[in-house]
Amino acid sequence: MRKNVKQQFALRVLSTAALMAMVSSIATAAFADTYDLNKGSVTVETKEDGFTYVTQLDNTQKDGYARNDNEDILHDYKDTTGVTITSNGNPTENTITVDTAKDQTTDVTLQDVNIQKDQWSSRSAAMTIKGEGDTEIELNGDNTLISGNRHAGLEKADDVSHGSLTIKDDLNNDNRTEKEKDESGYSTGGDTGTLIAASGYDGAGIGGRKNEAGETNTTCMSTSDITITGGQIKAGSLNETNKEYPQTEQGGAGIGGASNYGNATNITITGNADVSAAGGYYAAGIGGGEYGNATNITISGNAKVTAAGSNSGGAGIGGGDEGVGKNIRITDHADVTAYGGNGGAGIGGGTSRGGSVEISGNAKVFAMGANGGAGIGSGEKCRSNNPELVDTSVTISENAEVTAVGSYGAAAIGTGLFCPEGKTTVTITGGTVTAIGGESDIKYGNGYCFKTLASAIGGGTSSFNPDKVQDVTVTINGTTGNTTVNASCWLDQKSAISTGEGAADIIGYDKDGKSPFGEDGSVIVRMYNHGSYTTTGYGPFSKYEGDLTGYNLGTLYQTVHNRKYMEEHPEEIVDITKLKDEDLHDWQLVGEVVQPTLEKDGYADYICSIDKCGQTKHVPLPKLTPEPSEPDTPNKPDTPNKPDTPDTPDTPSTPDVPSTPEVTPADPAVTPDAVQADAVPADAAVTPAAAQNVVQDAKPEAAATAAVSAAVLPQTGANWLAVVGTALSGLFLLAAGFVLDRKNRRMN
């Protein structure tokens, strides 16, 4: 019994140990995330289930040979935490393949990877991106991807890759910790991861590959949806004379399409990325390969970019030889330097093609064309009845700082040499722009020389016919910011801003003295002639046109501006009609004012003192006219005598009041009848009968009233004096009667 127990216990211990070993083994396989390329090529595959599977061939496995069943193949089961691949800086020909299913993302870190395929004998890419899903590559340490013939160094061809590729540097090289972030979200601290990506022949540095002989699928030559957010990148293909800046021997762009119609679509460089790219023969630095177009190239954030087209054609950024550069956008704080290849624009179209370019924000741009290509705009010899191929537009706005240099017969900003077809539009609404037009003397064949009339901004020389004028429109204002433009052309021509061919400047004042600068920001445009520039003869990638070593704007011949008005009215959105000549200039008196006299006119001369404007005006002062003598003031007339006041007529004398008869005190023995009879005057107009009736029928008061009434009744033809006298007598009698009556009453 005890023996069985001991045996069971021993079996349990052994089982536990075996289980622990298995778990340990599984855990090691599940979470091992670093693969050494020195042991063999690595394939990283993320499937629809979201898990990443890693397959690595034994180091005896060689590309292009059938694999034997007995060869050692390592399988690792991975979760979604990502994969790290390294060669510890040791050169190897083993390769990397990443294949991602739709709607999935594969995270791969390159840690000191150094893959160098034979440029001529090898027919494979150093690193290949495949699948419908997305791939993100983190750069740690120094990494090199050099491919063989026809393949891109970091290959993402449209025939096998339909997702996106992101190259980033979010981790520190040493300890792989998250780097500090600035306010924009771009990584700022720690060591910078690097990558050199190069093709041996016909492929891009990063992008498409050339199809193999007999291969009918041509989409492999194009690439799309590539984003670089960090790291230091050098892309092109090896040039034995210049390995620091790889350059393809033929056909492929530094970043973009491969030889033979390789297009580039949706290329974005942003964050803190530092990118240098050189195109191979007939290819752009960033954009189309030979005959390839570029569409939707965006450079933003704090990115720093240097790009150069091939010495056989292609734009620095844009189309390859005979390729269009469409929707090229540079913004934010991006810092861009671009050199066009032979016949290509610095930024825009390749040889024979136009393009569209927008520069905004606080971007800083230097662009230089080569041998007939504009600095920014179209390449040489844009001739086509198809507007999509030759039409050119350039827009500069906000606070951008732009310097552009045209090459032989080409505008600095606008149209290249010999571009009679198509429409060119240049719009500058803000920023600081310096434009130096192409050289004036061009030699062909047996020393034949003719003088070009290329503008600094606008049109280049369109043909040998000096009467040929291109369809060119130049607009300069302050819609999006303060605008400063310095434009310089060659020789004595005054077409620094024009259609080319000696046409008059497009900008200036109209006949009413109005300026076209009726916008929010201040505007100053200076136009020079007798300008020039010098080069070293050797560019950073190409030996055709060369680096700009210096330039001379020449002699100022015209300045137009609205600076004064804007400084005085910063709050006002200016209407063009308000910008009169007086608003635009700061007129300073020249010399003394010549005062007019009676015999001749005077005048005053003025000159605008703003930024050497040099514009003058002569103000005539008309001669004086004699003043007419003032007429004598007429004498004041004498005041007429006041007429004598007429004498006041004598007031008629008041008639004498008849004397009141003496009243004899009534004798008590006298009867009332006797008194009444005595009181009536003998000459009264009252008839005796009427008086008798009144006395008899009325009381004393009534009798008196009746007597008065009878006495005052006028009689026709009566004398008024008699009437008055009669009335007074009547009143006296009434009074006497009244007194006598009161006495009688008292006595009674």
Tell me the pLDDT tens digit for each residue of 496-551: 888 655 455 555 444 444 556 655 678 888 888 888 887 776 555 544 456 677 88
Sorting pLDDT into bands at 50, 70 and 90, what band is 8?
low
Report the alpha-carbon distance of residue 537 to residue 174 in Å, rounded: 41
Sorting pLDDT into bands at 50, 70 and 90, what band is 562?
confident
- Counting Cα atoms < 13 Å in the Cβ hemisphere of 661 gives 17
DSSP state of 373: -
Considering only 395-409, 420-434, 664-678, which range has the smallest mean pLDDT? Answer: 664-678
- Whether 15 shows a pLDDT value over 60: the answer reads no
As given in the structure block, the two tokens for residue 263 are 């297009």
Cβ pair 508, 487 in contact under 8 A: no
* Burial class of residue 65, CB neighbours in 10 A (0-12, 13-18, 19+): exposed
Mean pLDDT of 612-637: 78
In 3D space, the residue among 360, 338, 337 whose CA is nearest the CA of residue 349 turns out to be 338
Report the alpha-carbon distance of residue 296 to residue 537 in Å, rounded: 31
Element (H, E) at 162: none
Tell me the β-bridge partners of 167.
137, 228
Report the alpha-carbon distance of residue 530 to residue 634 in Å, rounded: 75
Mean pLDDT of 626-650: 69
Cβ pair 212, 150 in contact under 8 A: yes
Mean pLDDT of 317-335: 97
Cβ pair 98, 133 in contact under 8 A: no
Sorting pLDDT into bands at 50, 70 and 90, what band is 111?
very high
Is residue 28 classed as helix, strand or coil in its secondary structure?
helix
Sorting pLDDT into bands at 50, 70 and 90, what band is 381?
confident
List the strands of the sheet with 587-594, edge to edge.
587-594, 602-608, 616-621
Considering only 26-35, 388-397, 402-411, 663-672, which range has the smallest mean pLDDT? Answer: 663-672
pLDDT of the residue at 489? 87
Sorting pLDDT into bands at 50, 70 and 90, what band is 184?
very low
Cβ pair 200, 241 in contact under 8 A: no
- Whether 21 shows a pLDDT value over 70: the answer reads no
* β strands within 595-661, DSSP E: 602-608, 616-621
- Whether 258 shows a pLDDT value over 90: the answer reads yes
pLDDT of the residue at 362? 98
Report the alpha-carbon distance of residue 351 to residue 345 in Å, rounded: 8
- Whether 494 shows a pLDDT value over 80: the answer reads no
Sorting pLDDT into bands at 50, 70 and 90, what band is 281?
confident
Q: Of the segments 1-10, 479-488, 654-663, which one has the largest average pLDDT value?
A: 479-488
Mean pLDDT, the chain, integer? 76
pLDDT of the residue at 51? 87
Element (H, E) at 266: strand 264-269
Report the alpha-carbon distance of residue 126 to residue 198 in Å, rounded: 9
- Whether 377 shows a pLDDT value over 70: the answer reads yes
Show Cβ contacts of residue 624 under 8 Å, excluding neighbours closer than 6 positions. Answer: 596, 597, 598
Contacts 24+ apart (CB under 8 A), 217-221: 217/159, 218/260, 218/261, 219/157, 219/158, 219/159, 220/157, 220/158, 220/159, 220/160, 220/258, 221/157, 221/257, 221/258, 221/259, 221/260, 221/261, 221/262, 221/263, 221/289, 221/292
Give the residue, 377 or 481, on which the prediction is more confident. 377
Q: Helix 700-712 vs helix 720-747: angle between axes, to the nearest 10 degrees?
A: 180
In 3D space, the residue among 248, 408, 247, 259 whose CA is nearest the CA of residue 320 turns out to be 259
Report the alpha-carbon distance of residue 499 to residue 458 in Å, rounded: 5
Cβ pair 501, 461 in contact under 8 A: yes
- Whether 399 shows a pLDDT value over 80: the answer reads yes
pLDDT of the residue at 390? 92
Q: What is the pLDDT of residues 585-616, one digit of tens each?
A: 778 888 889 999 989 999 999 888 776 676 78
Report the alpha-carbon distance of residue 435 to residue 487 in Å, rounded: 5
Considering only 310-319, 474-483, 508-517, 680-689, which range has the smallest mean pLDDT? Answer: 680-689
Tell me the β-bridge partners of 425.
393, 473
Give the residue, 528 or 672, on which the prediction is more confident. 528
Q: Considering the chain, what percentage of its residues have pLDDT values greater than 70?
A: 62
Report the alpha-carbon distance of residue 191 to residue 578 in Å, rounded: 56
Q: Considering the chain, what percentage of its residues have pLDDT values greater than 90?
A: 37
Element (H, E) at 30: helix 2-31
Considering only 144-148, 255-259, 405-409, 684-688, which range has the smallest mean pLDDT? Answer: 684-688
Report the alpha-carbon distance of residue 508 to residue 557 in Å, rounded: 12
- How far is residue 199 from each of residues 99, 260, 610, 675, measured CA to CA in Å? 21, 15, 55, 172
Report the alpha-carbon distance of residue 580 to residue 462 in Å, rounded: 36
Considering only 76-90, 322-336, 719-733, which range has the smallest mean pLDDT? Answer: 719-733
First to last CA, the chain: 186
Report the alpha-carbon distance of residue 494 to residue 516 in Å, rounded: 19
Sorting pLDDT into bands at 50, 70 and 90, what band is 643?
low
Give the residue, 293 or 421, on which the prediction is more confident. 293
Sorting pLDDT into bands at 50, 70 and 90, what band is 221?
very high
Mean pLDDT of 548-557: 84
DSSP conformation letters of 168-219: E--B-TTT-PBPPB-TTS-B-SSPPPEEEEE-SBSS-SEE--PPPTT----G
Report residue 615: phi and psi, to 5°: -75, 140
Give the residue, 292 or 78, on which the prediction is more confident. 292
